[in-house]
Amino acid sequence: MLLLIGACVDQGCLVYEYMENGSLEERLLQKNNTPPIPWFERYRIAWEVASALVFLHNSKPKPIVHRDLKPANILLDYNFVSKIGDVGLSTVLNSETGSISTAQKDTGPVGTLCYIDPEYQRTGLISPKCDVYAFGMVILQLLTAKPAMGLAHVVETAIDNGKLIEILDSAAGNWPIEETKELALLGLRCSELLRKDRPDLKDQVLPVLERLKEFACRARESVPDFQSTPPNHFVCPILKVCIYNLELPSS
């Protein structure tokens, strides 16, 4: 989750940690000619976002539903570590047991078109499965870098016709087709129209993403030209070199 640093009451604003690489949406679209995100980093980002959602959904004493998960609200730091922001629409479920299967009635559907749970739109019932639907759309966009509108149908059709490779974001590098197909199918399961057909995030989705993340980490280490860079606060602003051992005067 994005770290809240402080607030300004007079100006009515919140101050969050600075995320050097902007939003996931900006990077997928390569705005301002920014370099693309490699496929192995996208695998890791999917796992990080799912982990954050599991944390929210299992909050005690009551689960929290984000309600507006989308690439624009997933921010990337200097090392492309992803964090979820914009919690303005988040809801704490009024559950006595704190069960993540709980649903409650809302006054009216809110969120962003294409990421709103269709069942929530129809019934007004909020559930953690609302976030699962949006997360499924995020997975599909991580793979294709395409707009969310009608994307599930595009991906499903491509898989059925054996043409998944044709719709993947080629800027991400050479996708491992079998693992990527598994991730695409997981995204489709998460974005099922009916909540009962969507997998449990903690018990069914996260273990798959954990395994795919480990696979991606091994692939990342084999890329000779890819090197992670240290965060800005480890780099000397004058010499522009990494500070390994910082010595402070005793007095």
Q: Which of 68, 117, 131, 169 is catalytic?
A: 68
Active site residue 68: yes
- φ/ψ of residue 2, rounded to 5: -65, 135
70: DSSP letter: S
**3 state SS for 5-37:** EEEECCCCEEEECCCCCCEHHHHHCCHHHCCCC
- Active-site residues: which are they? 68
